[in-house]
Structure 1
Amino acid sequence: MTLVQTTLPGTPTPFASSALAGGTLAPLEAAAALAPQVIQWRRQLHQRPEVAFHEVETSQFIFDTLSAIPGLTLSRPTRTSVVAELRGALPGHTIAVRADIDGLPIHEEVDVAFRSTRDGAMHACGHDGHTAIVLGLATLLAAHVDTLPGTVRFVFQHAEELSPGGAEELVQHGVMDGVARVIGLHLWAPMPVGRIGILSGPAMAAPDNFQCTIVGKGGHAAMPHECVDPIAIGAQIVTALQQVVSRTVDPLDPVVLSVTQFIAGTAFNVIPNSAYLSGTVRTFDASLRTSVPAQMERVIKGIAEAFGASYEFRYLQGYRPVVNDPALSARLTDVVRRTFDNDTLIEMRPTMGGEDFSAYQQRAPGVFAFVGAGNEAAGIIFPHHHPRFQIDERSLDVGLRYLTAATLDLLTPNA
């Protein structure tokens, strides 16, 4: 990876209180002073979402903001990603901190002053908050570079939401070269604001998907005996696929199989020639990731052939599972206990959602943490990827303080 120093005229000036600019406050103490700027950055990003692989304005905003922070070396590994590196004055490890930057193809239904200005695009998963938090982290640590051990590599990654994802592409461009540890976080709406969850081991599942076309013989709906009805056959396949998990997988092994699309037909009196099914399979175990699709195809083949239809089946592997390094998880759990109140750390179960942070964990031990962003009393109750998704913005301060404490701890030579 080639890193070049960049300077752009007229770029935004990062927020800095006089104490922060002079480095007289410790980074954790300065985080509270930076909170209003982090919220402002998040709202600016929220208003201008861009979907995966199209984050042109978003990445330029990040680049311009980082360019105004002294001491950072910037690069653009891909057209819509940004990497900033901060070299401390003291010896220590190289730590990577990742933020994802893309939005989703969803029309926002939240009535707030900073709602999306782009029809059909929305930050409905918290990536705007992740980006703002890591911009804040870069600002805080750059103000203390003279006392900072090691090197911090801030990775602003494109295209987390769309396989094959941006993480693997950035790894191929060398963003993990020389990195000893990698950390990231997800603002998590199902968790109350003020809480942090760190799992040891499996944290997020492999999000694979499948596509199946049932090819029958179309005809008049009044004469079904002359047809091979792909809708009736597809309905039986949908039902039978549910038994792949319930009757062929150990009940103690977490697996999800969901059919999410069933497309067929054009008129009330026409039996179509084909039907299309698609969906997702979520697993943690590598052997199940192989055996489940094989069993699915046996079911599909048997039912289709029994009724005289043919089929096409495609199974597409998505991201690897996110598996947190146990030793690093224990260390960061201790960081949370030392940094926050006793009730901040929350015990949570793995989620069957997927994340391409797993690509970085193939190159260095990593931990992906969850920072609570929900608030039932304030109506912040909608799930990720929902058109009314919101976050409690107090979670931005919690996330910034967590990443600051975690980064400083891991940079020290004995970490």
Structure 2
Amino acid sequence: MSYQLKTKAQSESGAAKGSAAVTSTVASVIADVRERGDAAVREYSQKFDNWSPSDFRLTQEQVEEIVAGVPAQVLDDIRAVQNNVRAFAEHQLNSIREFEVETMPGVFLGQKHLPVTAVGAYVPGGRYPLLASAHMTVLTAKVAGVSRVTACTPPIRGEIPGATVAAMHFAGADEILLLGGVQAVAALAVGTETIKPVDMLAGPGNAYVAEAKRQLFGEVGIDLFAGPTEILVIADHTADPFLVAVDLLSQAEHGPDSPAILITTSESLGQAVLGHIDRLLPGMPTKDFAGPAWRDHGQIHVVEDLDAAWPLADAFAAEHVEVLTANPRQALSAMHNYGALFLGEGTCVSYGDKVIGTNHTLPTRGAARYTGGLWVGKFLRTVTYQEVTSEESSAALGELCGRAARAEFFEGHARSGDIRLARHTGSLPGWAAAAIHA
């Protein structure tokens, strides 16, 4: 038994048209930046952000001046949060093992982890100065060993976002550009006269930034395809409905297209959550975003028991999953598809977004079925190497290679194996003898 107390209200009829318009706009901007470089970047920055300084890149002196103007408490908080993010990223780095193993006498196979050389970290502005994104992108890349991180953020209503600049600076950004939107992402990817291209793009953004990353993927690497923020709460009868309501709305305020979903084993809790949300929304400073998100994308599902809740939650494969049950750690074995789990009433998605130390750049729109979120390993390339020092082992591999390659009709591959076998046996294969004596 399962049923919905609240269903998703919005029709998707306009989504395709909107998506097509975004795709076309982004493609034209990227093409223009590719063709005209700095001139195109400057025109789009003026058009979209009313921002056209003599140089988009901040000097060290400018950075220091901006940081000095940020309240001391904000700077202390940035440092405290970055300590948490750095510590967790370092633990992740230490969990990735390099190795070399001798698989046969004289056959050595190894694995190394090489950091990406240059990363472009996009830190959104727009509605909110998302300085936490600087921690998650810039700092994590630097922990991984990336040698050059160029961080971009747009001005907000014509003003320099001082706290965001401070966060990027403290995180270790090697360059800071006051530049936003598709023009920033395109410039980072393809390069201009004054902006060096990077090898990888990271960081969230609006629909246009996300589409730009999608179109540029392949030419550069990206962290992941990001959509609207999502929250899914699993709650049983022990949960506090007021807390559930607050947490659902905490993510709905990201934007009018952010899904907020409750799966509960208690109809009375679901009804109570509905009532609390109805009372909370009118007084929220961010109701213009949270209200439409809840109206159009909010859902409440009532299920018979937790055995029914886990597979339903897995089907959503949500970005953030809060588990507010009597035994929240059960989710660690019961669930398989999620970006991040938040277990018990002592934590919440907002902690993950802002302060706790795990990375908040996570898969959305069902992508948790096949990928995790941004982590230190995303900035590393796992490479292998091989060395064969034993002639006997090389001969054995050569004989095997000859047979395996000819089974696939790859004669050239087979001959590479033949020659190494011949060096050991002293007997040239017929094709080699004929070529030598021709």
- TM-score of Structure 1 vs Structure 2, range by shorter chain: under 0.3
- Which of the pair has more CA radius of gyration? 2
Q: TM-score, normalised by structure 2?
A: 0.25
Larger RCO: 1 or 2 (CA < 8 Å, sep 6+)? 1
Higher helix share: 2
Higher strand share: 1
